[in-house]
């Protein structure tokens, strides 16, 4: 996969602001968990990051106004 296509795919995966915020929070939680040696918080951070991906997937599947057919 060429680098341009990879960047485009990554941008599409992270274009939702809520996804970006959840990934930022997850990163902070994971870094703190590793610092304090708390494995349960690492898992919580991973779940938060996955929730961001789920939100992005749901948001990208919604039909857009211009895509709807006018009857």
Rounded average pLDDT over 33-45? 96
Tokens 């997850």, residue? 26
Residue spans of the domains in the chain: they are: 17-56
By percentage, how much of the chain surpasses pLDDT 70? 82
Predicted local distance difference test score (pLDDT) of residue 63 = 65
Q: How far apart are CA 19 and CA 61, in angstroms?
A: 15
Q: What confidence tier does 45 reach under pLDDT thresholds 50, 70, 90?
A: very high
Dig out the tokens for 43 from the structure: 């898992």
Per-residue pLDDT at 56: 84
Q: How far apart, in whole angstroms, are the C-alpha atoms of residue 29 and residue 51? A: 14
Average pLDDT over residues 39-48: 96
Q: Is residue 26 within 8 Å of residue 48, measured between CB atoms?
A: yes
What is the reported pTM? Answer: 0.69
| Cβ(60)–Cβ(9) below 8 Å | no
């Amino acid at each position: 996969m060429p680098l341009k296509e990879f960047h485009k795919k990554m941008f599409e995966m992270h274009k939702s602001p809520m996804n970006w915020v959840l990934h930022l929070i997850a990163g902070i939680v994971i870094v703190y968990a590793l610092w304090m040696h708390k494995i349960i918080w690492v898992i919580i951070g991973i779940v938060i990051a996955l929730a961001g991906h789920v939100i992005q997937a749901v948001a990208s599947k919604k039909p857009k106004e211009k895509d709807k057919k006018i009857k």
